[in-house]
Amino acid sequence: MRWVPFRRRASDGRSGDLERFFGRLARDQLGPGYGAVERRRDFRSVFATPAGRRVLWSLLDWCGLFRPVAVKGDPYETYHRDGRRDIGLRIIRALEAAAPSGEDARQAGPEERRGER
């Protein structure tokens, strides 16, 4: 049997099949009810350790978060870099998401509290 890559075609009625598949896959792995609050807690707990902070800074560096994205004369490379940078920004937004009222004071561990002074 010959492998045929998935192609999105609006005319065949299957244009959202791949998106639905990956959406279901993510929901199955994350569990029902996983939202912004749970994501924030997960990200903060993972990146709260010294090893987690090193991984975080490596990820942000790989995303090119602290470098310019524009490449003169090459819009495709600019778009590529901007897409990578967007992932880094999403990670930062997940870490800085607003907590429900008073959650930080109750949930923050000693390492988090020391860093907020």
> What pLDDT, on a 0 to 100 scale, did the predictor assign at position 109?
47
Percent of the chain exceeding pLDDT 90 equals 43
Backbone torsions φ then ψ of 4, nearest 5 degrees: -120, 125
Listed by start position, the domains of the chain span 35-99
Indicate whether 22 pLDDT > 90: no
> What pLDDT, on a 0 to 100 scale, did the predictor assign at position 3?
55
CA–CA dist 86, 52 (Å, integer): 20
pLDDT per residue as tens digits for the range 94-113: 888 876 665 554 454 444 44
- The C-alpha torsion from 28 through 96 and 85 to 59, rounded to 10°, is -70
Residue type for 22, please? F
CA–CA dist 88, 60 (Å, integer): 5
CA–CA dist 60, 82 (Å, integer): 13
